[in-house]
């Protein structure tokens, strides 16, 4: 029971960390994506995930990695975003991958529009002294897209085969 709870909370905890890290520092540490991959592999072994299912999840992650690193090479997203999306794609598998990508796109669009809109206003005096707010408000700063990726991952997580394997056991 405790192991099931740990397995079910592992993914959400890392996604929340990635979102806050991106918001506060505009970076998603490599260790987050590596922990997600290692956690998925561990979870697959502990739950007895069928090898075919495991392979399809890995393939989904590699597909997302290929696409997102192309986007990174074009300068459209950051490297941390590309790695986080790929690791999340591994957890999603092909079963909910499209839903994840659609949610991430929609949320990312709203996030981008919202931040760009807020940047048209002067920052209140108290907020200028808070480094992450001042950085996020600066017009040359990118958009912390990891927030959208993390929220989308949390939205689809209960519908993943991973959730079914652990919660159903």
Residue 50 has pLDDT above 70, yes or no: yes
Quick one: tokens of 30?
Answer: 């490599």
Average pLDDT, the chain: 93
Angle in degrees, 0-180, between the axes of helices 79-118 and 30-47, rounded to the nearest 10: 120
Tokens 């807020």, residue?
A: 118
Residue 166 has pLDDT above 80, yes or no: no
The per-residue b/e assignment along 30-53, b for 16 or more CB within 10 angstroms, e otherwise, is eebbebbbebbeebbeebebeeee
> What is the span of the domain harbouring residue 128?
2-167
What is the percentage of the chain residues whose pLDDT exceeds 90? 84
Q: What is the pTM of this model?
A: 0.93
Segment 123-147 shows an average pLDDT of 93
CB 33 within 8 Å of CB 99 = no
47 token code pair: 């739950």
User: What is the total count of domains within the chain?
Assistant: 1
């Amino acid at each position: 029971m405790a192991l099931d709870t740990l397995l079910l909370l592992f993914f959400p905890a890392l996604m929340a960390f990635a979102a806050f890290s991106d918001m506060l520092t505009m970076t998603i540490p490599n260790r987050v994506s590596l922990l997600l991959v290692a956690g998925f592999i561990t979870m697959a072994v502990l739950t007895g995930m069928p090898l075919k299912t495991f392979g399809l999840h890995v393939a989904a992650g590699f597909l997302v990695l290929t696409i997102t690193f192309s986007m990174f090479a074009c300068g459209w997203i950051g490297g941390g975003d590309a790695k986080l999306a790929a690791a999340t794609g591994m957890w999603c598998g092909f079963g909910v991958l499209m839903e994840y990508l659609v949610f991430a796109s929609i949320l990312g669009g709203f996030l981008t529009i919202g931040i760009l809109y807020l940047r048209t206003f002067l920052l209140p005096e108290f907020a200028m002294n808070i480094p992450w707010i001042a950085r996020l408000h600066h017009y040359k700063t990118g958009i912390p897209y990891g927030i959208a990726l993390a929220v989308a991952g949390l939205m689809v997580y209960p519908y993943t085969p991973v959730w079914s394997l652990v919660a159903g056991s």
